[in-house]
């Protein structure tokens, strides 16, 4: 039996890169995977196809995780397809490096809305689907959260926020664990 047999995982930003690799590894370990994507349907479909080719189960669900209605739909489709949730991987993110003089409110909000607000919105919906036996929420951070580079002040701030949110939520969720 595979380590994740019978488990259901949502991986955000899973149409390429790290997210695609995580989704494929979860599928190879027996999890039923929801491959979330914002804009690359072809990328997400390719990940689903690779998971299925190795005997796994997966579906692709479009949702911009910085948008509350999209997040609600993502988890509604997860529930409709698999009935539950065991693992959420908050991987979706964006980075745009810029020197101080080039930072605009749009630059700031684009990164914070996806990297930070999106993580919070998906986590809120995920805990509603994770049953009393527990589950896992994995947040993808970056070394730049604690070791910023010169032109990555906004991106580094989002990843620092991810680190702190992860710590705070682990303290909030610890008392909920059963057994």
Number of domains in the chain: 1
User: Model pTM?
Assistant: 0.94
Q: Could you tell me if residue 3 is inside a domain?
A: no
Q: Hey, which residues are catalytic here?
A: 155
Is residue 56 one of the residues assigned to a domain? Answer: yes
Q: What is the pLDDT of residue 2?
A: 82
Whether 131 maps to a domain, the answer reads: yes
Quick one: residue 147, left, alpha or beta (phi over 0 = left, psi -120 to 50 = alpha)?
beta
**pLDDT score, position 85:** 98
Task: Give a yes or no: residue 2 inside a domain.
Answer: no
Strands (E), the chain: 8-11, 32-37, 57-62, 87-90, 136-139
- Are 116 and 158 in contact by the 8 Å Cβ rule? The answer is yes
Position 1 in a domain: no
Ranges of residues in the chain with a pLDDT under 50 are 178-179
Distance CA 14, CA 65 (A): 12
pLDDT for 42 equals 98
Q: Please indicate, yes or no, if residue 140 is contained in any of the structural domains.
A: yes
* Per-residue confidence (pLDDT) for residue 86, from 0 to 100: 97
pLDDT at position 178: 47
Range of the domain at 54: 8-176
Asked if residue 38 is part of any domain, the answer here is: yes
Q: Is residue 18 part of a domain?
A: yes
Q: Which CATH number belongs to the domain containing residue 48 in this structure?
A: 3.40.50.720
State residue 68's pLDDT score.
98
């Amino acid at each position: 039996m595979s380590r994740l047999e019978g488990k259901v995982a949502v991986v955000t930003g899973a149409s390429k890169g790290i997210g695609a690799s995580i989704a494929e590894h979860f599928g190879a370990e027996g999890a039923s995977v929801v491959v979330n994507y914002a804009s690359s349907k072809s990328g997400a479909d390719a990940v689903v196809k690779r998971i299925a080719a190795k005997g796994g189960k997966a579906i692709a669900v479009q949702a911009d995780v910085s948008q509350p209605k999209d997040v609600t739909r993502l988890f509604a489709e997860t529930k409709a397809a698999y009935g539950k949730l065991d693992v959420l991987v908050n991987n979706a993110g964006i980075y745009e490096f810029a020197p101080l003089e080039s930072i605009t409110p749009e630059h700031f909000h684009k990164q914070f809305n996806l990297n930070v607000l999106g993580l919070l919105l998906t986590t809120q919906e995920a805990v509603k689907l994770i049953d009393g036996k527990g589950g896992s929420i994995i947040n993808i951070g970056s070394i730049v959260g604690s070791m910023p580079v010169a032109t990555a002040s906004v991106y580094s701030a989002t990843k620092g926020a991810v680190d702190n949110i992860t710590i705070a939520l682990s303290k909030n969720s610890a008392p909920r664990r059963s057994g």
